[in-house]
Structure 1
Amino acid sequence: MLNKPINTTQLSFLQPGLKEQLSNKHPLYILADHVNWQLFEDSFKKHYKENFGRPAKPIRLMVALLMLKHIRNLSDESVVEQWSENAYYQYFSGEQVFTAKAPCEASELVHFRNRIGDEGVELILKESIRINGKGGKEDKASIDTTVQEKNITYPTDSKLHRKIIKKCIAIADKEGIELRQRYTRTLKKPGIEQRFRNHPKNGAKARKADKKVKTIAGRLVRELQRKLPAESYKTDLELFVRVLRQKRQDKNKVYSLHEPDVACISKGKEHKKYEFGSKVSITVTQNSGVIIGALNIPGNDYDGHTLDAALEQQQRLTGHKLKEAFVDRGYRGRKEVLGTTIHTPKTFSNKLTAYRKNKLKEGFTKRAAIEPKIGHLKTDHRLSRNFYKGIKGDNINVMLAAAAMNFKRMMNIWKNNLWALFFHFVQIFQKNTQQPIYYINPRLLTF
């Protein structure tokens, strides 16, 4: 059930509200006044039942927490904890007076993300593009792909087989099934032999131990299949069988039991040959650097095949069709997609004029700027490791990271404009008084 709107006519006799207490030069303060919060209220209202159930947390509060989490690179627990300590976070979330308690449980952010889904998060990304104004309406853009790694351990067959054994024993205990053997003591010696497999004399022992652990895992899976009802844990047991049957050169292998959709992607990096996660397509305007498209691509498709979905999302978010898109050589073979001309680096034709060659060179030079953009998405806005579950979590994470970077761009612009205005007045004062300024009010330096 939706919560009742807050009555702002009379807040407190004892203290002024947050609007009067805080600095209106703070970027979060300015951003709070620029975001169209009513858009989220109207769009997400359909996910709640009228006059039924416990009153929910305000929609603005939950959307603001999702934004702050990725803007400040925080976990669910940290953003909820810092919210109770930060007055600007509270004003950004729509609070009128300071509240010294947590706004909600951290798990409520999980439920809210699942409730609004991909469409709701895409609406947040669309709003971040709108706030950037004309920067999101340019005719030229750069497109590139990267990998958002999933929160899994480095996958090996021996790890997966041991996890299957643990899960089978846990299922048996939960269902009250008595196993013929639990193999607790039997697995100790193979574990030691597997641990020291890199020693030159232990290679054969380690391979023999791998085979033994796999055999034990197969026995437990088959015993559960015999003793459990036909439909009980059917999905889990089929996944276990699939892991036990897969071989080294197989395609569509399972690399994690809790994230079976993870793909192994090679991007040609010397320091990291393989990454385990999902491919992401990023579209950035060439002059302003606004992210106008951020799309998760399940599987490991050839880069050129991701252009259709990426440009379709870009047109859906901006309502504007790109004239030209500059890509790297990984997109070879695509020349035009959805009315957008695709430029790939290659030797120029003699038929091109010098002016056109210079324009293309300029476009490819600006295309290189997308690489540090992706780097900042990973290091500053939680794209490097995705903790959200499933393909749905992959979609949500990449769009929230892109939206956070767009919001952060405008916050930096407002901050820099304030600094420029401040130093402009300093120069005027120095010129008129012919005296240097030795003291600066600290309040002017607070952002």
Structure 2
Amino acid sequence: MYRPTERQMLLPDDFFLPFGGKLNKENRWVKLAQMIPWWKVEEHYGERFKSWTKGQQAYSVRVALGALIIQERLGLSDRETVCQITENPYLQYFIGLPRFQEEPPFHPSLMTHFRKRLGPDVLSQVNEWIVMEQAERDDDADDRDDAGPGHPGVNAASKPRTKAQTTANQGKLLLDATCAPADISYPTDLSLLNEAREKLEKMIDVLHAVRERGKRKPRTYREKARRAYLAVAKQRRVSPRTLRKAIGKQLRFVARDLRIIGKLKEEVGLGALSARQYRQLLVIQELYRQQEEMYRRKTRRIEDRIVSISQPHVRPIVRGKVRANVEFGAKVAISVVNGYARLERLDWDSFHEGNTLQAAVEAYRERYGHYPEAVLADRAYRSRENLRYCKEHGIRLSGPPLGRPSKTARAEQARIERQDAAERNEIEGKFGEGKRLYGLGLIRARLRATSETVIALQLLVMNLERRLRLLLYLVLTWLQQALTSPALANS
């Protein structure tokens, strides 16, 4: 049966609000706000300002960090993030507003400044506080469980104690690396040179406009260059010889435009160019040098290769995956302990992930007061240096030991390898969670600093989500115990 309900329009004043002017304490945003040590973040954030009394008053760290967390958690744009905060009282409470307001709390353009101000070091420190606070709560829950029944909590006996409570190795450290691709089109040498040529032609137009009247405009052959590019770009299959010939043509067009700009620079200077065009000119000069050297040497590899004019910091990262053998973005090495992820290293140049093992293990010892019992990682981490390091500190590195195992030890070793592989799925799941839910699979920030901030922020949001799920689990567990235990039910 269907009953019509849209015959009379419901006015906004007639809409019923159930909370009666008060927020629900069990709301997820209220719980998340209580998990973040805002006062610690403010002290750490305030060190970035030269003066606390001079200059224009900046927005509080709760507004800046809260807005960024909302954006990454919900996957919104800058403008949509401000709209959601304006319409939702729980989001306004999360960023620290004292009361609900109908006007936007800040302009969407400030989101970029928030990302610049809150760098990856600040976010990594906040992430560390949140993870270590949860580890201390797990230890308290263990103590309550050891004291006897009647306390809500989970058995975390396998979790490492904090701050040097024991000298024995405890816990497991999971290590792996991935690529956080940047939001750029797939680069080819021909398309990069064509884009560089078009940008140079616009610069020539700007510089020619400030010359004296009556002077002839330099000839750039832009229409001829465009036709030469499209004649090859539109083909489905291009032979290597045809492609090399097309790249040579575009290189000569770009070289001609650079010479023209050099002459105009001596005549009128480069003051007429915008700041963006001047940066692009510097990038194009280096791009031309790289492309010309690769063309002359007949190779496809060169150090610090530029694959994007707008984002020259992006580098190709060879991953050897099925979908894409090469990805373009930052290489990220993370560690996972008890389900919480930490950023161990972030670099735009490719690096060997095995070199991060010793630093990650020492950081684990600094946090928990002891070395891990085992380090679960793939074969890239099993270098002789890492094996020797782990042996010196009594750490088991996942994988088969050196030498030929005995027949009796083969079965046990196979069982341990299967168990390690199953436990290592957790860090692979973290990569999948970050790339599918929180945007780690496509970093839309344009600048290098803001991209690094977004990557660190996504790990922080993932850890906050885990703490929120764990809190819900503890509440449900306590309610189940209260319903089944007579002592708790009477109390």
Indicate the residue corresponding to 1:341 in structure 2: 395
Distance 1:165 1:377, change over 3 A: same
Q: How many pairs are equivalent?
A: 410
Distance 1:413 1:179, change over 3 A: farther
Indicate the residue corresponding to 2:462 in structure 1: 405
Indicate the residue corresponding to 1:384 in structure 2: 441
For residue 141 of structure 1, the aligned residue among 146, 168, 173 is: 173
Distance 1:117 1:369, change over 3 A: closer
Indicate the residue corresponding to 1:257 in structure 2: 309
Is 1:221 paired with 2:278? no
Instruction: Give the distance between the partners of 1:84 and 1:207, measured in 2 at CA.
Output: 55
Q: Which runs of 5+ in 1 are unaligned?
A: 1-15, 433-447
The letter for the 1-side match of 2:185 is T
For residue 152 of structure 1, the aligned residue among 184, 190, 209 is: 184
Distance 1:153 1:81, change over 3 A: same
CA contact (8 A) 1:70 1:400 kept: yes
Judge which range, 374-383 or 120-129, deviates more.
120-129
For residue 204 of structure 2, the aligned residue among 167, 172, 175 is: 172
Indicate the residue corresponding to 2:291 in structure 1: 244
> How far is the alpha carbon of 1:149 from its aligned partner?
0.5
RMSD of the alignment, in Å?
A: 3.5
Trace 1:289-300 onto structure 2 (pairs within 5 A): 289-300=339-350
For residue 67 of structure 1, the aligned residue among 66, 69, 88 is: 69
Instruction: Give the distance between the partners of 1:45 and 1:320, measured in 2 at CA.
Output: 32
User: Greater Rg, structure 1 or structure 2?
Assistant: 2
Distance 1:192 1:414, change over 3 A: same
1:337-391 Cα distance to aligned partner (Å, 9 max, x none): 6958361422684496987875565333201221121100111122111223454
SS in 2 for 1:90: helix
SS in 2 for 1:187: helix
1:133-159 Cα distance to aligned partner (Å, 9 max, x none): 346856211111111011111000111
> How far is the alpha carbon of 1:325 from its aligned partner?
1.2
Distance 1:205 1:355, change over 3 A: closer
Q: Which runs of 5+ in 2 are unaligned?
A: 1-16, 139-158, 163-169, 271-277
The letter for the 2-side match of 1:410 is R
TM-score normalised to structure 2 length: 0.73
SS in 1 for 2:40: helix
Trace 1:39-438 onto structure 2 (pairs within 5 A): 39-48=40-49, 49-133=51-135, 134=138, 139-175=171-207, 176=210, 179-199=217-237, 207-229=244-266, 233=278, 235-236=282-283, 238-247=285-294, 248-252=299-303, 253-285=305-337, 288-311=338-361, 321-333=371-383, 334-335=386-387, 336=389, 341=395, 343-346=397-400, 349-350=405-406, 361-418=418-475
SS in 1 for 2:224: coil
Judge which range, 71-80 or 417-426, deviates more.
417-426
Distance 1:279 1:310, change over 3 A: farther
Indicate the residue corresponding to 2:166 in structure 1: none
> How far is the alpha carbon of 1:311 from its aligned partner?
4.2
Distance 1:179 1:330, change over 3 A: farther
SS in 2 for 1:280: strand
CA contact (8 A) 1:193 1:206 kept: no
> How far is the alpha carbon of 1:63 from its aligned partner?
1.2
Distance 1:293 1:140, change over 3 A: farther
Distance 1:393 1:325, change over 3 A: farther
Distance 1:192 1:258, change over 3 A: closer
TM-score normalised to structure 1 length: 0.80
